[in-house]
Each structure stands twice: as structure tokens, then as C-alpha cells.
Chain A
């Protein structure tokens, strides 16, 4: 964890130093045309970078290889990264419909416990 913070700090320092001078002449990308002015601030770029690093780390913790996690984070848009950053453990993960029976079992057990307790 400490090394992650260190990495983030280094990236923040680097980006603050480098970003203001990194503008190049050239084409303006389509996503910049769509995005609001706020989304184009350098600060947002840094936050996106950090969020991506966080999501990739979390994916590795959840069982992906480093290379696969990197590929999959790259496939997400900035907005999608923001939707899961920091809450990859709690956002919906569609899984098996077999789980339905667990839900029914849990409800049944609670019902039995309540009934026995109050009888």
C-alpha cells in the first residue's frame, strides 16, 4: 500500500511539473469536444490517472494477472473508471442465477429464526 501511495505522489509531482508545458500543437480529439470544460482540467487528468492505477490494482487483488488487468483498465473510458474506482468491491457484479436459491434460503432461515424466537 505504501508503495502505491509513493507511486501516486511521484506521479502527482511529475504531472504538476510537466502537464502545464505538455501542450502540443495538433488535432483536438473527439472526446474533448464532447467533454465539458471541467473534464479537461489538468487536475482531472491527474485524478483519472490515479483512478486507473487504483482500479488496476484492485483488479489484480481480485484475481487478474497484471497484464490482463492493464488491458481491461485501458478498455474503460474515463467515465467508466470513475464509476468503479474505490468501490470495485461493492458495485454490482452479475453472476450466477443459482444464487437465487441462496437468497431464498437466507430468507427462509430468517423467517424460521424469527418464528422460533417469537413463539
Chain B
């Protein structure tokens, strides 16, 4: 091989190395500018437990460390069935999130920012990070738990694999982390909102917890959310919906009233308020709220129309009952057809007759 060619190869190699170094840690270099002046220079969360991983189980062990740090009592072995995928010899990111929820905790994905990762650690929350030690064409993915940093030394401290305390220069970590889009997640108990949380994304995380069936946890989380973002529509609606699901109708009514006051354009708020009011026997108010929901239109029109139709039916049934009672003055034991059991036992509410004939799908109930 001629020398000229060798020289060119060498030049190319050196150029690539330099280019690689230059792009090694752009966010690390910006840290000084992006972090507040009073940001702690060193933090290490020593209380985060350590579970050395077996074989390909870095997903279950990383998740177990994060869950236990958040207050759970769970072993990596117990999480294998929730996150490990044998055919991939690893764990998917979405399942790491889902498994945290299955255990009753909130899983929140951080923004792809080194400063957000450090901010969470400084606030006392360890973060699960996904690195790629290989290349885009030969990926070697690995989860570890970031538990500390040392800014003067430019080090990140993690629990990784068999190492309880592995330090790595921040620019190198940033390079490995960037290959998978700087993915990081935190696991927090429902009463704690992560330091870097953004309202919409945190709301989605709490909704996911609600849908996973952890209603009490979701209720706590919605309350925590309303403390940080008092007029959050999701927070108010979620609080109401969970209270409703837990059959705490009084709290549900308060929550939906608040939502419909703060967000007068939310058809969902009025719709749900109408449903709760109807169940609590306040038919007149329920009718007003249901009509408001339909008038607001929007993508949930079919739902709001159905609610309005049902409440009109209840109102009609209550009126028929009243009329029947007036005819047979000593009310018989067998009440007329019970279309609405909630209202059957209560005195019929005073409802002004509604002449509106708009889309009345309601059938007049047989008396």
C-alpha cells in the first residue's frame, strides 16, 4: 500500500476522531450557562438501593432500584415478568413505564436534556437512563440508574450492571446517551410531582396511572398536580372522575363545578357535572349543565347529546311520577315504571317545562 494512501487514511481517521470529540458533549459544555447559579455542585443519592443485574436483566434491576427509591418494596425478580422480553434479551422503554404504573407509581419521561437529568437528581429523584454502547448499526442498549453527579469533576455517578457506583465523565455519558435520544425516566410516588415536570406531559402520566386502575393513587396525583398547576383542566377533571369512580359524588361535584367555572369552554366539564348532578337528584341544575355541554359542541358532541337525552328522560320520568302521584292521592306501594331509580324515591324537583324541540331522541316513558 503506497504511503500517500496510508497518509490519507490516517488523516481521515484523525479527522473523524476530532469530529467525534468536538461533538462529544455539546450539552455538557452548555451546563454552566443553563443551570441556575445556586445549583448544587455535587449530589449523590446514597439511599438508592443497588440490585446487581443477572444476565440480561438490567431492565428489571434498574426499575427495581427506581421503584424502591420511590418507596416501593419490590425485587428485580418480581419485575421480570412485567418488563423482560425473552426474544429481545432485554426490556422495552414503554414497558419500563408501564411496569412502574402497574406497581402504583407514576412513570415520567424526562425531556432530552442533560440539565433536566441533573435537576431531578439534585431534587432527590434518581433517573433510569438508556445508553447505547454500540453503534446505530450495532446497538448495545443498556439501562442504568443515575444517582449522582460531580460538576467540578465533570462526572456522572450511576448504578450500572454489577457496579454499585460507576463514575463516568459527563461528555462521554452524553455521547452514549445521545444515541438513543437522551431517554430518561423517573419513578415517583403519586404525591410527588417531578422537579422538571411539564403540565401536559405530567397530566398524561397521571391519566395513564388512572387508566391502569390505581384510582386512589391517581386521586392523590391529581391533587398534587392541582397544587402545582391550580387551574389545570386535566387535574380538575381527573380529580372529579376518580372521585366519581370511587363513589365520592360530593367531591366529584365540587371538582366538576370548579372545572366548568375555570374552563367555561369545556364541554366535558359540563357533561360530567350534569351526570353527577343528575345522580345526586339535582335534576334542574343537571339539565342546565347538560344543555350547556351540548351548546359548546366540539368533538364530544355525541357524548354530550346522549347525556342531555338521558337527563331529559329522567326529568320526564320524574314529572310523570309526580302526575301519577297527584291522581292516586294515597301513593300505592308499587310506583309507576321506574325509569330513574335515583329519582324515584326523592320528591320530584321543580323543573320548568322545556318547549325546546331540538333533536329530542327521548321517548316519552310509558306511565
Question: If the complex has contacts A33-B266, A75-B101, are A92 and B300 also in contact, measured as CB distance less than 8 A?
Answer: no
- Enumerate chain B residues within 8 angstroms of A70, measured Cβ to Cβ: none
Instruction: Decide if B82 is an interface residue (CB 8 Å cutoff).
Output: yes
Q: Mark A36-52, 1 if CB is under 8 A from B, else 0.
A: 01001000000000000
A76 to B161, CA, bound (A): 26
| A97 contacts B244, C-beta separation under 8 Å | no
| A92 contacts B56, C-beta separation under 8 Å | no
8 A Cβ contacts from B58-99 to A: 58-59, 62, 81-82, 85-99
A96 to B139, CA, bound (A): 12
Instruction: Decide if B234 is an interface residue (CB 8 Å cutoff).
Output: yes
| B58 contacts A30, C-beta separation under 8 Å | no
Give the number of residues in B that approach A within 8 Å (Cβ atoms). Answer: 75
Instruction: Decide if B46 is an interface residue (CB 8 Å cutoff).
Output: no
| A93 contacts B92, C-beta separation under 8 Å | yes
Our pick among A26, A34, A93, A103 for the contact of B135 (Cβ within 8 Å) is: A103
8 A Cβ contacts from B293-332 to A: 298-300, 302-303, 306-307, 309-310
Instruction: Decide if B53 is an interface residue (CB 8 Å cutoff).
Output: yes
Q: Chain A: which residue is nearest B276 at the CB level?
A: A27
Q: Which 9 A-B pairs have the closest CB atoms?
A: A62-B87, A93-B90, A63-B86, A95-B90, A94-B143, A97-B161, A25-B310, A37-B299, A25-B306
- Enumerate chain A residues within 8 angstroms of B134, measured Cβ to Cβ: 99-100, 103, 106
Please name 14 pairs of A and B residues whose Cβ atoms are closer than 8 Å in the assembled complex, sorted by A: A23-B306, A27-B275, A28-B268, A30-B207, A34-B207, A72-B98, A75-B95, A80-B94, A92-B139, A92-B141, A93-B89, A95-B59, A99-B140, A103-B140
Instruction: Decide if B138 is an interface residue (CB 8 Å cutoff).
Output: yes
Instruction: Decide if A98 is an interface residue (CB 8 Å cutoff).
Output: yes
A68 to B233, CA, bound (A): 35
A24 to B303, CA, bound (A): 7
Q: What is the interface residue range for chain A against chain B? A: 35 or more
- Enumerate chain A residues within 8 angstroms of B53, measured Cβ to Cβ: 96-97
Segment of B113-121, B147-155, B208-216, B343-351 in the binding face: B208-216
A88 to B57, CA, bound (A): 18
Question: If the complex has contacts A26-B275, A34-B204, A63-B87, are A94 and B59 also in contact, measured as CB distance less than 8 A?
Answer: yes
Q: Mark A49-86, 1 if CB is under 8 A from B, else 0.
A: 00000000001011110001000100111011101100
| B98 contacts A80, C-beta separation under 8 Å | yes
- Enumerate chain B residues within 8 angstroms of A24, measured Cβ to Cβ: 306
A63 to B87, CA, bound (A): 6
Give the distance to chain B from A12, nearest Cβ to Cβ, in Å: 21
| B207 contacts A94, C-beta separation under 8 Å | no
Instruction: Decide if B102 is an interface residue (CB 8 Å cutoff).
Output: yes
| B142 contacts A97, C-beta separation under 8 Å | yes
Instruction: Decide if A14 is an interface residue (CB 8 Å cutoff).
Output: no
Question: If the complex has contacts A75-B99, A93-B89, A96-B161, are A34 and B300 also in contact, measured as CB distance less than 8 A?
Answer: no
| B92 contacts A92, C-beta separation under 8 Å | yes
Q: Chain A: which residue is nearest B143 at the CB level?
A: A94
Besides the known contacts A27-B271, A95-B142, 15 further A-B residue pairs in the complex with CB atoms under 8 A apart: A30-B210, A31-B211, A32-B268, A33-B233, A63-B85, A77-B204, A91-B93, A92-B141, A92-B180, A93-B85, A95-B140, A96-B55, A96-B142, A103-B134, A103-B135
- Enumerate chain B residues within 8 angstroms of A89, measured Cβ to Cβ: 88
Q: Mark B210-243, 1 if CB is under 8 A from A, else 0.
A: 1110000000000000000000011001100110
B138, B140, B207 pick with most chain A CB within 10 angstroms: B140
Question: If the complex has contacts A30-B234, A33-B237, A34-B234, are A100 and B133 also in contact, measured as CB distance less than 8 A?
Answer: yes
Give the distance to chain B from A113, nearest Cβ to Cβ, in Å: 14
Q: Chain B: which residue is nearest A106 at the CB level?
A: B138
| B92 contacts A88, C-beta separation under 8 Å | yes
A77, A81, A93 pick with most chain B CB within 10 angstroms: A93
Instruction: Decide if A5 is an interface residue (CB 8 Å cutoff).
Output: no
Question: If the complex has contacts A84-B94, A97-B161, are A28 and B300 also in contact, measured as CB distance less than 8 A?
Answer: yes
| A119 contacts B300, C-beta separation under 8 Å | no
Our pick among A27, A91, A103 for the contact of B272 (Cβ within 8 Å) is: A27
Question: If the complex has contacts A27-B241, A30-B238, A76-B94, are A94 and B268 also in contact, measured as CB distance less than 8 A?
Answer: no
Our pick among A26, A97, A103 for the contact of B160 (Cβ within 8 Å) is: A97
